[in-house]
Structure 1
Amino acid sequence: MFLKKESGKCKAIITPFAVYLNENDNYVEPDMMVVCDKDKLDENGCHGAPDLIIEVVSPGSVRMDYSIKLFKYRSFGVREYWIVDPAKNRITVHDLEHEETLALGSVIC
C-alpha cells in the first residue's frame, strides 16, 4: 500500500475540507482524506488529488458515492478510494492506482 511507504509524511483530514480536483472552482468534500504532498494544502482546501479518500454512504448519497465520485476520483488521480457502507455492512476499497477493487464484508461495528 502506498501509505505504508509514506509513513509520517501524510496528513489525515476530516471534513469539512474542500478538495479542488482541477483548476475550476468545483470541489468535493469527502468524509475523510489522506494527503501525502503537503504542498497541495492551504487554508482554502486541497488543490489536487488526495492520496486516499474515504466516503461513508448515507441513503441520499448512494449514487453519488458509488458512481459519480468514483468516476471523478479515478479521472483526477486519487490513488485509493474507500466506500464505507453501513447499510450493506461493507467497505469497498478501490485501488485506483493499480485498478483493483476489494470488498470487505462484516467489518463495520
Structure 2
Amino acid sequence: MAEVEFVLDPAGVREVLHSPGVRAMVDEAAARIAEQVRGSVTAPETVRVDAYTTDREAAAVTIADRRGMVWQARDGVLTRAAAQIGADIKTRGGSG
C-alpha cells in the first residue's frame, strides 16, 4: 500500500469554514432544531435562531422565555431537538 502525505492547509480550512455552503448547512440545522423545539414548548413564538460567525459559521437556538431554562433543565428540549436531527451533542464545562 502506498503512503500518502497529508498537509493541513489552515487557510484552506478557514475558507471552507467561512463558505456559503457551510453557512447554509448551519442555518438548515439550526432551523430544524428550532422547529423541533417549537413543537415541544408552550411558547413556540419565543424560539429564536441567531446566526453568527467566529472562526467558523455558527448559529444559536434559544428560547427567549424565562421558562426556557426550566424546559431545558427538566425536559432537555434543546438537547433532544438537536439529537433528533442527528447532531453530535457535547457538553461544555462541568463534568460530562
TM-score range, shorter chain: 0.3 to 0.5
Name which structure has the greater RCO, CA cutoff 8 Å, separation 6+. Answer: 2
Higher strand residue share = 1
The normalised TM-score by structure 1 is 0.33
TM-score of the pair, normalised by structure 2: 0.35
